[in-house]
Amino acid sequence: MAINIMVPEMGESVVDARVARWLKHAGDVVTVGEPLVELETDKVDVEVTASKSGTLASIAHGDGADVKIGDVLGTIDEAASPESRVQGPESAVQSLPAVAQGAEVGPASSVQSRGATPSARREARERDVPLAAVQAEGPRVTREDVRKSAGPRDPGTPGRRSSSGPQDPGTPGPRSESRVRMSKRRATIARRLVEVQATAAMLTTFNEVDMSAVMALRAKHKQAFKDTHGVSLGLSSFFIKAAIAALRQFPRLNAEIDGDEMVLKHYYDIGVAVGAAEGLVVPVLRDADRMSFPAIELAVRDFAQKAADSTLSLDDLRGGTFTITNGGVFGSLMSTPILNPPQVGILGLHAIKDRPIGVNGQVVLRPMMYTALTYDHRIVDGSEAVRFLVRVKELVEDPGTLLLES
């Protein structure tokens, strides 16, 4: 009996996908729950697993093909499964050791039943590392687990490239070129950035923040905070708390436009932009106003790890009322962030640099950060945007007041 392998439903905001890589070839034996194919969407990577045991009979859409929800990716011949060929109690008993042994060394390995992230599978293929030999530090094998198992790369023997990534152009000449197809996520990012610039009246206002008080507070409590909560006290929690306090004072920055109406949100789901291999992603802290400093730092750390391992879920990325992005981690001194629609505000953070400033009539060096607020001028006035950013500055420069605002 032929069983269709379908492109699954992945949330109402995801309507199509791209076949990143088939993990099996036509004719391979597959078992229930075994990953068959990786799909790219504009938000997350998804593994499609076998719903039945059998043989992969056909592949309808190969690597790189664009598909829609409900499309048939291929078929499984259930009649060709090892279980279907077992006849009678005696043969069933005789077949059990062979099936068990096959589970140890074949497709349905203990690693696959435990699970490995898509990025871990790609890393293992590129480094020629058997997943069964990788020790996982968590419930699933991650890319970092594979890297630790493989050790450092030999510079003279680079790993193989995946079919969806940049292709080796051979020996490039002085004027060589290569073409690399954009990933689904990168293509969507490109389209959305153009769309938002065409539809929103974006303006950006700037300010600078003296980070002395926050850095002193972090230095004083750094070790105790980590010992107690198992995570470092970073900058994220200070700015998220400050932004929420400022959003309460200037609620139009926590809104969206729906036709000729403003939808003012009375909850605070803060998106935190995180860099990933295929482009920036923005996982969301739900009800961030109710989260403590440790809870925020733990969540941001987990988002960064999930982004690196390609394990962010659609729920992690859905929604959001306001976004914070930190170009400073890459060394950016100043930038103009672009709105994350349908949101009407985004706060950009930047690198901290010692700069001379005037304090009480004297020029002193202080650790300073430029901040930027991009806003949709259709519903946010310039004075609101400027005062919002000033309020964020005031709160971060006097972090003790964040306890009163929380």
By DSSP bridging, strand 362-376 and strand 345-349 are: antiparallel
What the block records as the tokens of 96 is 């059990």
Is 381 catalytic? The answer is: yes
pLDDT above 80 for 271:
yes
Q: Of 243, 396, 395, which Cα lies nearest the Cα of 321? A: 243
Environment class of 95 (CB within 10 Å of its CB; exposed 0-12, middle 13-18, buried 19+) = middle
Report, as an integer, the average pLDDT of 355-361. 93
The domains of the chain, with CATH numbers, are: 2-108 (2.40.50.100), 185-405 (3.30.559.10)
- Give the three-class secondary structure for 323: strand
From the list 66, 287, 354, 381, the catalytic residue is 381
pLDDT above 60 for 30:
yes
pLDDT, tens digit, 9 for 90 and up, residues 219-246: 999 999 999 999 999 999 999 999 999 9
pLDDT, tens digit, 9 for 90 and up, residues 375-404: 999 999 999 999 999 999 999 999 988 877
What the block records as the tokens of 230 is 């198992």
Query: What confidence category does residue 406 fall into, taking pLDDT thresholds of 50, 70 and 90?
Result: low
Separation between Cα atoms, residue 372 and residue 346, nearest integer Å: 8
Tokens 């700069």: give the residue: 355
- Residue 216 amino acid letter: A
- Give the three-class secondary structure for 303: helix
3 state SS for 206-242: EEEEECHHHHHHHHHHHHHHHHHHCCCCCCHHHHHHH
pLDDT above 80 for 195:
yes
Between 235 and 98, the higher pLDDT residue: 235
Radius of gyration of the chain (CA): 26
Between 58 and 41, the higher pLDDT residue: 58
Is 350 catalytic? The answer is: no
- Whole-model pTM over 0.85: no
Contact between 196 and 188 under an 8 Å Cβ cutoff? The reply is no
pLDDT above 70 for 100:
no
From the list 128, 168, 354, 377, the catalytic residue is 377
Q: How far is CA 80 from the centre of its chain?
A: 39
Report, as an integer, the average pLDDT of 34-54. 87
Long-range contacts at 162-166 (CB < 8 A, ≥ 24 apart): 162/20, 162/21, 162/122, 162/125, 162/126, 163/20, 163/21, 163/63, 163/64, 164/18, 164/20, 164/21, 164/40, 164/63, 164/64
What the block records as the tokens of 264 is 């003012």
Candidate from 30-34, 107-111, 159-163, 307-311 with smallest mean pLDDT:
107-111
Separation between Cα atoms, residue 348 and residue 206, nearest integer Å: 9
**Mean residue pLDDT across the chain:** 84
Query: What confidence category does residue 113 fall into, taking pLDDT thresholds of 50, 70 and 90?
Result: very low
Report, as an integer, the average pLDDT of 107-121. 55
- Give the three-class secondary structure for 368: strand
Listed in order, strand segments (DSSP E) in 15-88 are 16-22, 29-30, 35-40, 45-49, 54-59, 66-68, 72-77
pLDDT above 70 for 309:
yes
Length of the chain: 406
